[in-house]
Amino acid sequence: MPAFRAARGTRDLLPDETPRWTRLERLAADLATRYGYRRIETPMFEQAAVFERGVGEVTDIVEKELFRLAPRTDESEAWSLRPEPTAGIVRAYLQHGMQTWPQPVRLAERGPMFRYDRPQAGRYRQFSQWDVEAIGDAGPAIDAELLELATRFYREAGLTGVEVWLNSIGDQNCRPAFVAELTAYYRAHLAELPELERDRLERNVLRLPDSKDPRMAALNAAAPKLTDRLCDACAEHFAGLRAHLDALDVGYRLEPGLVRGLDYYTRTTFEFYVTGREGQQQAIGGGGRYDGLVELLGGRPTPGIGFGIGIDRLILALAETGAADATAGETGPVAVVVGADPEDTAARLRVATDLRAAGIAARADLAHRKLGKQLEAAVRDRAHFAVIVGDELADGELALRDLAAGTQKLVPVEDLAREVGRAHAAHRHGSIEG
């Protein structure tokens, strides 16, 4: 047993796994550019109040899962690792005067989030999200733009069978009456409520229709639905969103119980699932409109909407649907520089350095071992070429061995990079066509 291990709920991503991540990160960056969402990076920790106020005190995320950092002195502020990116991005929007930029401000962020939750499959204490936000547009067209973008991301990632679950949770005009009606409904069924839900009833009744507890299923199916009670403005917004989604051919499923765990949502809320994988820890993304959040964090009223896609769960879903290995495809170095003289590592390193300066992925074998062993290692590395430094170097030549084809020839030192680059490109081209 090693003396130390990665903390519970965290994982090391090993080199065999990282190509999948790199591919999705590149896809996310590329889509953000195509859609005009500019990259932002906010800190991984903030004043805890940003989340307490922004996410809401009576939410699982703040009550149970906030990763608080112990203050070092009595005077120091209360900090917390970020459980989600939106509150921090809105904090940055206000701090940097983005209200004066052309609206909406379209932003995208990628990075780790932290929740002190009980770890299990698909639920980690550190996980990665791709997050996209549009601040300063009341929608509904922008809501549709974001939903279409999210579905495109899944599709281009290679995931099929993604469902959009959609709801409107109203606003400060229609929600209070609904909350009262919902509270009355569940109070009338108090005896049927599991203890946790009974507790939530008095503190945040909107969490109940969203409960994944099977004992709540029948009760929730019969519960009053906010979608039937939206005020005119919210109903019009929701109808507008649906018309835009139809125009973009984005399919969705209406889910009146979908309220999401965060307090700041208004109107549009949504989550993404893979058909047949719809359990509690299986949402592969979600988001919604947060027209009250900017004001909550001290700005003037400004609408906003965004989504977060969980990259860890997306990678799990890709693996389970068998689509993962469209994603791998990382090969070894193009060339490994080996040498006939086991001791002369300087010459090998020199040749490899020149190849790398010319843009070629090359490594030198730096072990003091026989040529045969060096060549075996190059084959194991799946290198395309071995460059052999030998006596010919005195005449300005190196042996270039094509490990795939089993051929070898002498090449002048000054031509090596060009020759390797040309042959490698021709080989790749051939294998793509073939």
Residue 87 or 182: which CB sits closer to ligand AMP?
Answer: 87
CB of residue 116 to ligand AMP, shortest distance in Å: 10
Residue 219 or 262: which CB sits closer to ligand AMP?
Answer: 262
Let me know: does 253 contact 165? Beta carbons within 8 Å.
yes
∠ CA(162), CA(166), CA(167), 5° rounding? 165
Helices (H), 96-135: none
Let me know: does 398 contact 413? Beta carbons within 8 Å.
yes
CB of residue 307 to ligand AMP, shortest distance in Å: 8
CB of residue 57 to ligand AMP, shortest distance in Å: 17
Residue 142 CA to residue 149 CA, distance in Å, equals 10
Q: Which two tokens stand for residue 210?
A: 């969203």
Residue 250 or 258: which CB sits closer to ligand AMP?
Answer: 258
DSSP sequence for 252-303: -EE-TT---S-TT-EEEEEEEEETTB-STT---EEEEE-TTHHHHTTS----
Let me know: does 397 contact 347? Beta carbons within 8 Å.
no
CB of residue 295 to ligand AMP, shortest distance in Å: 21
Residue 122 or 158: which CB sits closer to ligand AMP?
Answer: 122
Q: Taking the CB of residue 18, how many other CB atoms lie within 10 A of it? A: 12
Residue closest to ligand AMP when measured from CB atoms: 310
CB of residue 272 to ligand AMP, shortest distance in Å: 7
Residue 95 CA to residue 88 CA, distance in Å, equals 10
Let me know: does 40 contact 107? Beta carbons within 8 Å.
yes
Residue 84 or 109: which CB sits closer to ligand AMP?
Answer: 84
SS3 readout for 201-248: HHHCHHHCCCCCCHHHHHHHHHCCCHHHCCCHHHHHHHHHHHHHHHHC
CB of residue 310 to ligand AMP, shortest distance in Å: 2
CB of residue 280 to ligand AMP, shortest distance in Å: 11
Q: Name the CA dihedral angle for 296, 300, 304, 310, rounded to a multiple of 10 degrees.
A: -40
Contact footprint for ligand AMP (CB under 6 A): 84, 115, 117, 122-124, 127, 129, 283-286, 308, 310, 312-313
Residue 239 CA to residue 224 CA, distance in Å, equals 20
Q: What share of the chain is helix, strand, coil (3-state, %, to 5)?
A: 40, 20, 40
Residue 161 or 176: which CB sits closer to ligand AMP?
Answer: 161
Residue 125 or 363: which CB sits closer to ligand AMP?
Answer: 125
Residue 148 or 312: which CB sits closer to ligand AMP?
Answer: 312
Residue 149 or 375: which CB sits closer to ligand AMP?
Answer: 149
Pairing outcome for strands 362-364 and 335-339: parallel
Residue 293: its H or E element: helix 293-296
Burial degree of 62 (CB within 10 A; 0-12, 13-18, 19+): buried
Let me know: does 42 contact 92? Beta carbons within 8 Å.
yes
CB of residue 240 to ligand AMP, shortest distance in Å: 24
Residue 292 or 308: which CB sits closer to ligand AMP?
Answer: 308
Q: Which residue has the tokens 């969402």?
A: 37
Residue 280 CA to residue 222 CA, distance in Å, equals 21
CB of residue 350 to ligand AMP, shortest distance in Å: 46
In total, the chain counts a number of residues equal to 434
Residue 44 CA to residue 83 CA, distance in Å, equals 9
CB of residue 59 to ligand AMP, shortest distance in Å: 10
CB of residue 246 to ligand AMP, shortest distance in Å: 25
Residue 286 or 333: which CB sits closer to ligand AMP?
Answer: 286
